[in-house]
């Protein structure tokens, strides 16, 4: 049987963890990227002999290089190698009052980090005729209010994937972008606390201007978490993208992603804005 290996970044929770566990159960040698020892231990305790936690912070050059060395050292000699660029955070909040460093951090993790890891691992991917999966989002196609930093980063991944896909074609390296809709993971709850802190720290005048945003953010985080489908759905699609002979360039995961990507471009902007506010019950 063909030997396969894969690095999944951001495997401590949510979609990345689900991907790491599923791929290991399918016979992949999985390098599961984490940032904390306790997350590494939690993955090891899952008991998959094929699952090896690797420390990697996608925003730190030295960490990426050290992960590359660990992967090179442990990689089976004749295994193919793939990369799942999954690590990500959500930065949310009204653009007017968003600390500019938060916007930088959003791009640092979700965009620059993904490309930095891809650059570092490309020689290995080229040598092993590998595949790259990039974790985009339906929010790379539509951008509702209050989630602009996250959506802008996902829009950027759409562009980067298109170029990268064409640039790597001559070496047979396939690049696949996943566009999941709403998935039930801790990601929105994590960002909610951050944005509430930002709103609470505003001077009284601006706090008054954005007084309704607080409730909107809480409602959005609740709704996104409640409506989300299981991260196993995304993991299955990642497995498909890594194993089918001829993967598509993009996979939409979830009915919301399919529906919104198909119909949003057909709706005039102002009608789309109105519908978005109605559906998300925003003030």
Ligand X SMILES: NC(=O)c1ccc[n+]([C@@H]2O[C@H](COP(=O)([O-])OP(=O)(O)OC[C@H]3O[C@@H](n4cnc5c(N)ncnc54)[C@H](OP(=O)(O)O)[C@@H]3O)[C@@H](O)[C@H]2O)c1
What is the distance between the alpha carbons of residues 210 and 200, in angstroms, rounded to a whole number? 10
Which residues inside 241-270 make contact with ligand X, applying CB under 6 A? none
Give the pairing of strands 131-135 and 80-85: parallel
Sign of the torsion formed by the C-alpha atoms of 31, 32, 34 and 36: negative
In this structure, what DSSP letter does residue 36 have? S
- Residue 103 CB, nearest distance to ligand X (Å)? 15
Q: Is 212 exposed, middle or buried (0-12, 13-18, 19+ CB in 10 A)?
A: exposed
The 8 Å CB, 24+ separation contacts for 17-21 are 17/43, 17/231, 18/231, 18/232, 18/234, 18/235, 19/84, 19/86, 19/234, 19/235, 19/238, 19/239, 20/51, 21/46, 21/48, 21/51, 21/235
- Residue 30 CB, nearest distance to ligand X (Å)? 14
What is the distance between the alpha carbons of residues 16 and 8, in angstroms, rounded to a whole number? 6
Tell me if residue 251 is catalytic.
no
Residue 109 touches ligand X, criterion: CB under 6 A:
yes
- Name the residue whose CB lies closest to ligand X: 14
Residue 180 touches ligand X, criterion: CB under 6 A:
yes
CB 235 within 8 A of CB 15: yes
Out of 4, 16, 92, 195, name the contact with ligand X by CB under 6 A: 16
Which residues inside 186-215 make contact with ligand X, applying CB under 6 A? 186-187, 190
Judged by CB under 6 A, which stretch of 125-133, 175-183, 212-220, 271-279 contacts ligand X? 175-183
In this structure, what DSSP letter does residue 135 have? E
Residues in binding contact with ligand X, number by CB under 6 A: 30
What is the distance between the alpha carbons of residues 98 and 187, in angstroms, rounded to a whole number? 18
- Of 137, 134, 102, residue with least CA distance to 117: 134
- Residue 15 CB, nearest distance to ligand X (Å)? 4
Out of 6, 7, 12, 152, name the contact with ligand X by CB under 6 A: 12
Site pattern 41..80 for ligand X (x: CB under 6 A): ---------------xxxx---------------------
Comparing CB distances to ligand X, the nearer of 59 and 276 is: 59
Comparing CB distances to ligand X, the nearer of 209 and 279 is: 279
Comparing CB distances to ligand X, the nearer of 32 and 168 is: 32
Locate 83 and state its tokens. 């990369």
- Residue 43 CB, nearest distance to ligand X (Å)? 11
CB 13 within 8 A of CB 38: no
- Residue 61 CB, nearest distance to ligand X (Å)? 12
Residue 176 touches ligand X, criterion: CB under 6 A:
no
Out of 120, 183, 235, 260, name the contact with ligand X by CB under 6 A: 183
* Residues marked as catalytic: 150
Task: Please give the residue ranges that form the binding site for ligand X (CB under 6 A).
Answer: 9-16, 35-36, 56-59, 86-89, 109, 113, 135, 137, 180, 182-183, 185-187, 190, 228
């Amino acid at each position: 049987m063909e030997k396969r290996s894969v690095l999944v970044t951001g495997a401590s929770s949510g979609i990345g963890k689900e991907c790491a566990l599923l791929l290991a159960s399918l016979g992949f040698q999985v390098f599961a990227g984490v940032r904390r020892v306790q997350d590494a231990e939690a993955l090891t305790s899952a008991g998959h002999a094929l699952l090896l936690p690797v420390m990697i912070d996608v925003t730190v050059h030295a960490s990426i290089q050290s992960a590359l060395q660990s992967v090179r050292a442990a990689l089976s000699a004749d295994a193919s190698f793939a990369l799942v660029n999954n690590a990500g955070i959500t930065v949310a909040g009204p653009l007017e009052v968003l600390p500019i460093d938060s916007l930088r951090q959003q791009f640092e993790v979700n965009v620059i980090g993904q490309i930095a890891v891809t650059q570092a691992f490309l020689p290995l991917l080229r040598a092993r005729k590998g595949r790259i999966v990039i974790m985009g989002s339906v929010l790379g196609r539509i951008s509702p209010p209050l989630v602009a930093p996250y959506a802008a980063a996902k829009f950027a991944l759409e562009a980067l994937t298109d170029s990268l896909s064409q640039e790597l074609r001559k070496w047979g390296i396939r690049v696949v972008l996943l566009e999941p809709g709403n998935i039930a993971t801790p990601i929105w709850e994590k960002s909610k606390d951050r944005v509430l802190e930002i709103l609470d720290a505003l001077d009284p005048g601006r706090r008054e201007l954005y007084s309704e945003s607080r409730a909107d953010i809480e409602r959005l985080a609740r709704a996104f978490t409640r409506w989300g489908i299981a991260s196993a759905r995304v993991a299955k699609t990642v497995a498909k993208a890594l194993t089918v002979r001829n993967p598509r360039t993009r996979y939409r995961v979830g009915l919301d992603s399919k529906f919104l990507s198909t119909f949003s471009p057909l709706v005039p902007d102002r009608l789309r804005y109105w519908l978005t506010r109605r559906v998300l019950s925003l003030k």
